[in-house]
Every structure is written in C-alpha cells, then in structure tokens.
A and B are shown apart, each in its own frame.
Chain A
Amino acid sequence: MADKDAEIGFKKETVSKLLSSSFKEDKTRLSGDAALLMAELLKVFVQEAAVRSQKQAESEDCDQVDIEHFEKILPQLVRSSKMGF
C-alpha cells in the first residue's frame, strides 16, 4: 500500500500565492524550494492542530472533536509557531 499521507497536501502554487499575497514589498519572491517546504510546514501545522484537538476530545471522553476542543489547544499551537518575544 502506497503511503497515503503523501498524497494529500497543499499545492505548491496555492502556498506560493498565499504567502506572496502577504509580502510587504513587491520585489520579494519565493523560491520554488521554499514554496515546497512551506507546503510541508503547513501540512504539519494542520496535522498538529488536528491531532491535538483529537487528544483533547479524547481526554474529555468525547466521540467527536468540537470547537471547544480546538479552542483549548489553540493558544499552545500558535505560541510555538509565532516568532514572538
């Protein structure tokens, strides 16, 4: 069985456009490799959000992952991603 995880992910083009739209300067570009790596990074970010929410739901004995579960894990998820001082 092929690694199914490898099939689902963010498209290089989507990530490229997404990031580029946030650049402050017109001259800033994103290299192809950087776009590919950022697609991977985003995928991991989403998977982390998902699995942490699932664990939270599990700890509360809930069958389904609901918004409260996600909200509880959100601060830590974002905190470890921001540059922040």
Chain B
Amino acid sequence: MSVDKDETQLRLKAAVHYTVGRLCQRMGEVHRREFSRQVLAAIAETAFRQCDIFAKDLEAFARHAKRSTVSSEDVKLVARRSTALSIYIQNKSEELNQEQRDLKKKNAGKRKSRDTEERAENKDKTKAGL
C-alpha cells in the first residue's frame, strides 16, 4: 500500500532529522556557532536525498561484482571520491573486521577451555575407575 510506504518514508525522514539535529547541536557547542532551524532541516533533507544516490551507487557496484548483497567493499567505493573519507571508511572497516576476529577468538578460546576441562574430568573419572 502506497500509504504505508509514505508513512515509512516520513518516519525515516524524521529519524534522520533527529540525528542531524543532535550532531549539529554538538558541533554548535564545539565551534560556538549554532544553526538556524532552517539549516538543520536543509542538512537533513540533503542527507536524505544523498542516501538515494548512495543506495543506487551501492547497488550498481554490487551488481557489477555479480552480488545481490551490498558489502563493505561497495561502501569503500562510494567513499573513494574524497580521500579523507576514503581513509576514514577504510579504517572503520578494519576496526569492524578486527572486532569480529577478536569475537571469534574469544568464542574459540571458550570452547578450547571447555574441552580441556572435559578432558580433565574424564581423566579423573577413569582414575576413579568409572
């Protein structure tokens, strides 16, 4: 139903506007120069529209790589236009990968120590002649 779709879009716009407001409020505090309400609305609208462009670019990159799921590689391509942004996104991506690797190690470590505990238990059991 197109009414639902419109409602979703409105809610998304509102969510974007909210975060834009908070980000700009913080920047206003830091740089001692605040934003008029009009500017906040304009930045939010621009960010919202820019997402449409980003989405279509992302989809095109994924399709080019013969994937139907947009990956972090596609995001890196979208960010390539600005060197600073590109580096920032590259670092964030590596941070994410590192977090995932650490998480895997943690879980693997838990499993290992559980195994050693079980083996130790079994050893005791055989000793006790069970």
Q: Contact at A8–B22, with CB atoms within 8 Å? A: yes
Q: How large is the interface on B (under 10, 10 to 19, 20 to 34, 35 or more residues)?
A: 35 or more
Q: Contact at B31–A51, with CB atoms within 8 Å? A: yes
Which of the residues A37, A42, A74 comes within 8 Å of B51, measured between beta carbons? A42
Q: Contact at B53–A81, with CB atoms within 8 Å? A: yes
Of all chain B residues, the one with the shortest Cβ separation from A10 is B19
Q: Contact at B79–A19, with CB atoms within 8 Å? A: no
Check B122 for interface membership: any CB of A closer than 8 A.
Answer: no
* Docked pose: A17 CA to B13 CA in angstroms: 11
Q: A25-B59, A53-B39 are in contact. Are A64 and B33 (CB under 8 A)?
A: yes
* Docked pose: A64 CA to B46 CA in angstroms: 20
Q: Contact at B23–A8, with CB atoms within 8 Å? A: yes
Q: Contact at B81–A22, with CB atoms within 8 Å? A: no
Main secondary structure of the interface of A (DSSP, over half): helix
Identify which of residues 21-56 in chain B touch chain A, using a CB-to-CB cut-off of 8 Å. 22-24, 26-28, 31, 33-36, 38-39, 42-43, 46-48, 50-56
Q: Contact at A28–B35, with CB atoms within 8 Å? A: no
Q: A8-B19, A70-B42 are in contact. Are A29 and B36 (CB under 8 A)?
A: no
Q: Contact at A33–B93, with CB atoms within 8 Å? A: yes
Main secondary structure of the interface of B (DSSP, over half): helix
Residues of A within 8 A of B75 (CB): 34, 37-38, 41
Check B98 for interface membership: any CB of A closer than 8 A.
Answer: no
Distance of A80 from chain B, by nearest CB (Å)? 5
Q: Contact at A11–B15, with CB atoms within 8 Å? A: yes
Q: Contact at B68–A28, with CB atoms within 8 Å? A: yes
* Docked pose: A63 CA to B20 CA in angstroms: 20
Q: Contact at A31–B19, with CB atoms within 8 Å? A: no
Q: A21-B8, A37-B92, A41-B78 are in contact. Are A74 and B46 (CB under 8 A)?
A: yes
Of all chain A residues, the one with the shortest Cβ separation from B96 is A33
Q: Contact at A54–B27, with CB atoms within 8 Å? A: yes
Residues of B within 8 A of A47 (CB): 23, 27
* Docked pose: A46 CA to B42 CA in angstroms: 11
Q: Which of B82-90, B103-111, B112-120 contacts A (4 or more CB under 8 A)?
A: B82-90
